[in-house]
Amino acid sequence: MLEIGIKKEPKPDILYDVIILGAGPAGLTAAIYASRSLLRTLVLDPAPAGGLASTTEILENYPGFPEGVKGPELTAYFKKQAERFGAEILDTIPVNSVSLAGPEKTVVTDRGTFRSRALIIASGTRYKEIGVKGEKEYKGRGISYCATCDAPLFKGKDIVVVGCGSSGIQESLHLLKFVNSITMVEFLPRITAEPILQERIKKYKNVNFLFQHRVTEIYGDRTVKGVKVEDLKTRTLKDIKADGIFIFVGLIPNSELFQELEKDRYGFIVADEKTLKTSMDGVYAAGDVRNKILRQVATAVGDGALAAYSVKQYLEEQEGNKEGA
């Protein structure tokens, strides 16, 4: 059991009560709840702590912040709070493999192999690629999946945004603070973003919408110079000159490591709605990596709290079984 206020260095030679894979809102919330329950808690993440939420310029729908809150600021609070209660956090540490069977779970990283009595998977999602010619070649050279990260690089430029869902429109609203114009390419015949976001984007005169179109190629010379798009109604091709392209067409779950678990057809981990237990004992899933209807910071936080509570119940049951044996 963990003692609050005593900071300990993560060590591969001890048995943790719970290891949490992922340091986004779900994982960090789970860490807060688990460590407050005096469970020895280790959080591992191959990326910097914060998850995709930390790449969002501003969150307007997270409770408690009437004027909105910057994503990096909010997730930094989450991390600080988890560490305050004794959670040990190792981010930017590649996770190479996991073993979920049996009473002890093992996680192999570049910093050694860590063991725990329970595991919470909160590994989140990553941005989906569109898989067209030129995408891999120009990634980082005019292609971006994060407006918060890269918008200043395109000041005064003409760009293309792929995707008119909520993330595509929200990121475009941020881009409009920097760029000269945006051409938005959408496969569907309409914007699918939240109504309030639709109202905001439609006020801009320098945004052009191409509905029922798809990008077929991204081309350039060292950096992006334009894209080719197909009109899905007429099957004609158009050439759009652009200095950059931002892609927001969905998310892919970071679940490839967990071959032993049941997943849905999209790769999201299947978990019980009441406990967030997966198909294996002692293993729970929280946040965007699990199959769920709504993927938001607010729902990730709820998942993290529930997963940590379920872990506590599970470990107490295991202790009770030992005593009764």
Q: What is the pLDDT of residues 266-313, one digit of tens each?
A: 999 999 999 999 999 999 999 999 999 888 999 999 999 999 999 999
Residue 93's pLDDT is 92
Going from N- to C-terminal start, the domains of the chain cover 15-126+251-324, 129-247
Is the pLDDT at 210 greater than 90? The verdict is yes
Q: What is the chain's mean pLDDT, rounded?
A: 93
Is the pLDDT at 56 greater than 90? The verdict is no
Could you tell me the pLDDT band of residue 86, with boundaries at 50, 70 and 90?
very high
pLDDT digits (tens, 9 = 90+) for 217-235: 999 999 999 999 999 999 9
Residue 1's pLDDT is 44
Residue 239's pLDDT is 97
Residue 2's pLDDT is 47
Q: Which residue has the tokens 């709290």?
A: 305
pLDDT digits (tens, 9 = 90+) for 3-49: 555 556 677 778 999 999 999 999 999 999 999 999 999 999 999 99
Is the pLDDT at 140 greater than 60? The verdict is yes
Q: Which CATH superfamily is domain 129-247 in?
A: FAD/NAD(P)-binding domain (3.50.50.60)
Share of the chain above pLDDT 90, in %: 86
Asked whether this chain's domains 15-126+251-324 and 129-247 adopt the same fold, the reply is: yes
Q: What is the assigned CATH class of domain 15-126+251-324?
A: alpha beta
| Mean predicted confidence (pLDDT) in 179-185 | 98
